[in-house]
């Protein structure tokens, strides 16, 4: 039976098999006297971190392991761990040995007494980023400045991966959270009420014990995407912007294939209507296939279709684009016959076609 106040510590992991055997015993020592559970959420690491974690969990009933297959991302892993936990105080830290274990009891005690949130800060007086090189430090400072502007409550280090939060507070903002990217704390600070009590405690960022940093270019791009989502994304979805960019590239693919087919296979003194139509259809279908795979890999990467679903999705995408072409033509023709300028008529028709294609593909190809 768990006491009323329990600390649930979430460790999101990916390729941390070498670090866990050292970290977990140290954690148990640091949390001695605090009723707790440790939940390791692993994104199906190639080095089988989840398997090492399970072996360690056999020896300690306070350790639990969640192996995620087909899902990835630090923020979503932390959220999944929080939702699987029992604690009244929820905490998260890295599994690479870079966070100060001795601060855990302080974070827990702060939330236990005052509710709200408690953050381990690298940027308040007494804190430090440790041995980071100047490039990484500069990127972190820039990202931190951008993030601070979005937060509803004051915090010197909204990008910290070391914090604790009251469970009721987390659950109150859960429906608004966006599990994209790698900084769940920023998402929480963006959505918690302005009256939320936030306390920060300085710590020095340590040196990774084993493995490599997870700060990849994809992580940096996801951070920028998150910034867009919580600002302009409330008016124009990021997926729509991506969809339009893919469509723009698709136009170039269409043109390139049309020119290639018409020049290489339909060469003659004069292009016939049949030859023109064949080259045009080849360009259109190639562009549709190109757009589908690029949208599947990038625009809708979190809903990526695989196997037979991808085949079915390609057929649905083709059908949606066919009706989109009809809508494009109908709108363009309507405005042109009403006396609108030719270019404006084409632009209006294309706009309707894009919105139609995007809407239909969200409803039927990449379902939410």
Name the strand (E) or helix (H) holding 343: helix 342-360
For the chain, residues classed under CATH 3.90.550.10 are 7-234
The b-or-e profile of 49-70 (16+ CB within 10 A means b, else e) is bbebbbebbeeeebbbbbbbee
Beta-carbon count within 10 A of 200 CB:
22
Beta-carbon count within 10 A of 248 CB:
10
Give the whole-angstrom CA distance, residue 97 versus residue 119.
17
CA angle 188, 165, 50 (to 5 degrees): 90
What confidence tens digit (pLDDT) does each residue in 85-110 have?
999 999 999 888 888 899 999 999 99
Give the whole-angstrom CA distance, residue 166 versus residue 88.
6
Phi then psi for residue 65, to 5 deg, are -130, 130
Instruction: Return the pLDDT at 104.
Output: 94
> In sequence order, which residues have a C-beta less than 8 Å from that of residue 232 and are 6 or more positions away?
none
Average pLDDT over residues 190-201: 93
**Is there a contact between 128 and 106 (Cβ–Cβ < 8 Å)?**
no
What confidence tens digit (pLDDT) does each residue in 138-162 have?
667 777 787 788 888 999 988 888 9
CA neighbor of 200 nearest in space, from 132, 102, 92, 106: 106
Whether the pTM exceeds 0.85: the reply is: no
User: Tokens standing for 171?
Assistant: 């659950």
Beta-carbon count within 10 A of 347 CB:
14
**Is there a contact between 14 and 53 (Cβ–Cβ < 8 Å)?**
no
The secondary structure of 57-117 as a DSSP string is HTT-TTEEEEE-SS---HHHHHHHHHHH---SEEEE--SSS-S-GGGHHHHHHHHHHH-SE
Average pLDDT over residues 298-307: 88
Average pLDDT, the chain: 84
Name the strand (E) or helix (H) holding 198: strand 198-202
What confidence tens digit (pLDDT) does each residue in 303-319 have?
889 999 999 999 999 99
CA neighbor of 326 nearest in space, from 360, 294, 295, 299: 360
What confidence tens digit (pLDDT) does each residue in 207-245 have?
666 655 555 566 667 777 777 777 777 788 888 999 999
- CA 10 to chain CA centroid, Å, is 18
Instruction: Return the pLDDT at 347.
Output: 77
Query: Which CATH topology does 7-234 take?
Result: Spore Coat Polysaccharide Biosynthesis Protein SpsA; Chain A (3.90.550)
DSSP, collapsed to helix, strand or coil, labels residue 239 as helix
Binning pLDDT at 50, 70 and 90, where does residue 123 land?
confident
User: Tokens standing for 18?
Assistant: 């070498």
């Amino acid at each position: 039976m768990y006491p009323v106040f329990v600390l649930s510590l979430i460790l999101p992991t990916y390729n941390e098999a070498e670090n866990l055997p050292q970290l977990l015993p140290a954690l148990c020592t640091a949390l001695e006297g605090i009723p707790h559970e440790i939940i390791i959420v692993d994104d199906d690491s190639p080095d089988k971190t989840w398997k090492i974690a399970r072996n360690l969990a056999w020896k300690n009933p306070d350790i639990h392991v969640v192996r995620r297959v087909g899902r990835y991302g630090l923020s979503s892993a932390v959220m999944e761990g929080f939702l699987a936990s029992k604690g009244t105080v929820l905490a998260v830290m890295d599994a690479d040995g870079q966070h100060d274990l001795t601060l855990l009891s302080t974070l827990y005690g702060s939330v236990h007494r005052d509710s709200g949130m408690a953050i381990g800060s690298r940027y308040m007086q007494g804190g430090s980023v440790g041995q980071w090189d100047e490039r990484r430090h500069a990127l972190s400072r820039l990202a931190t400045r951008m993030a601070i502007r979005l937060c509803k409550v004051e915090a010197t280090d909204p990008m910290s991966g070391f914090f604790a939060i009251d469970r009721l507070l987390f659950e109150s903002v859960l429906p608004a959270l966006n599990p994209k990217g790698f900084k769940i704390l920023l998402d929480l600070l963006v959505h918690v009420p302005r009256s939320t009590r936030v306390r920060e405690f300085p710590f020095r960022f340590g040196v990774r014990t084993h493995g490599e940093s997870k700060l990849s270019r994809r992580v940096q791009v996801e951070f920028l995407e998150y910034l867009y989502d919580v600002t302009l994304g409330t008016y124009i979805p990021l997926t729509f912007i991506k969809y339009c960019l893919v469509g723009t590239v698709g136009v170039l693919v269409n043109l390139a294939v049309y020119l290639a087919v018409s020049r290489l296979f339909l060469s003659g003194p004069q292009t016939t209507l049949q030859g023109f139509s064949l080259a045009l259809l080849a360009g259109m279908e190639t562009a549709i296939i190109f757009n589908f795979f690029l949208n599947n890999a990038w625009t809708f990467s979190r809903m990526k279709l695989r196997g037979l679903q991808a085949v079915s999705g390609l057929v649905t995408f083709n059908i949606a684009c066919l009706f989109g072409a009809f809508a494009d033509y109908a709108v363009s023709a309507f405005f042109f016959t009403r006396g609108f300028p030719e270019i404006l008529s084409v632009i209006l028709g294309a706009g309707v076609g894009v919105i139609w294609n995007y809407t239909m593909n969200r409803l039927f190809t990449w379902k939410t």
